[in-house]
């Protein structure tokens, strides 16, 4: 289960945001993952296919902000993450490949 939310875009697609515990080897705290997909179920399937098996989104408590939506829409993979506690230059959005390397 994850904190997060979703936003439907004008073209009908969705941006889903989830906050998950950071993998142990990569440090402590939470990471926020953004996924762009045709619908909410497809976004969660993309996360599960990357190995995040226990991701479920109930409710819409923390929907993505306009800045987060822009970040994921401009990323070629349509899926990005960053630490929720990072500030400064380390607060940039990263690809999922970077998360897999860190863990």
β-sheet bridge partners, residue 15: 7, 36
pLDDT at 29: 77
Secondary structure (3-state) at 1: coil
Write out the two tokens for 102. 């860190």
Q: One digit per residue, pLDDT tens: the chain, 103 residues?
A: 468 899 999 999 999 999 888 765 555 678 889 999 999 999 999 988 888 877 878 888 889 999 999 999 999 889 998 887 765 555 688 887 766 655 5
Whole-structure pTM value: 0.82
β-sheet bridge partners, residue 14: 8, 37
> CA angle, corner 59, sides to 44 and 11, nearest 5?
60
CA distance 61 to 42: 20
H or E element at residue 37 = strand 30-37
pLDDT at 87: 58
């Amino acid at each position: 289960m994850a904190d997060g939310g979703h936003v439907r875009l004008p073209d009908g697609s969705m941006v889903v945001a989830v906050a998950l515990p950071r993998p142990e080897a990569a440090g402590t705290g939470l990471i926020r993952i953004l996924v762009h997909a045709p619908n909410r179920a497809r976004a969660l399937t993309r996360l599960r296919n990357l190995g995040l098996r226990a991701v479920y989104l109930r409710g819409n408590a923390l929907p993505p902000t306009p800045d987060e939506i822009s970040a994921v829409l401009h990323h070629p993979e349509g899926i990005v993450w960053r630490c929720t506690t990072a500030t400064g230059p380390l607060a940039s959005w990263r690809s999922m490949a970077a998360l897999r390397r860190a863990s």
